[in-house]
Amino acid sequence: MAKQEQHKPRPFVGIRFKCCKVYSRIYLNRKGDAFVGWCPRCARKVEIKVSPDGSDSAFFEAV
C-alpha cells in the first residue's frame, strides 16, 4: 500500500470585504511576505503585508 502524502494546512486570515459585505479567507503567498486574496463577488484585490512583529488578530476588514 502506498504511503499517503500529508498536506500542511495553508496559513490564512479571515477577512470581511466591506465592498460586498462578504467574508472570505485569504492565504499566505508563496514568498511568505503577505496574505493575498480577492473579493469573491467583485474581485477587488486585498493584500495584507506580514509584519516581523506579527499581529494578535486573525480577522481583518477590507474597504
- Tell me: the pLDDT tens digits for 3-61? 667 788 889 999 999 999 999 999 999 999 999 999 999 999 999 999 888 777 778 88
Q: How many residues does the chain have?
A: 63
For 11, residues 6+ apart whose C-beta sits below 8 A from its C-beta are 27, 28, 35
Phi/psi of residue 11, nearest 5 degrees: -65, 140
Phi/psi of residue 55, nearest 5 degrees: -150, 150
pLDDT the model gives residue 10: 86
Domain spans of the chain, in order of start: 12-62
Q: Cα–Cα distance between 35 and 21 in angstroms, integer? A: 19
pLDDT the model gives residue 1: 52
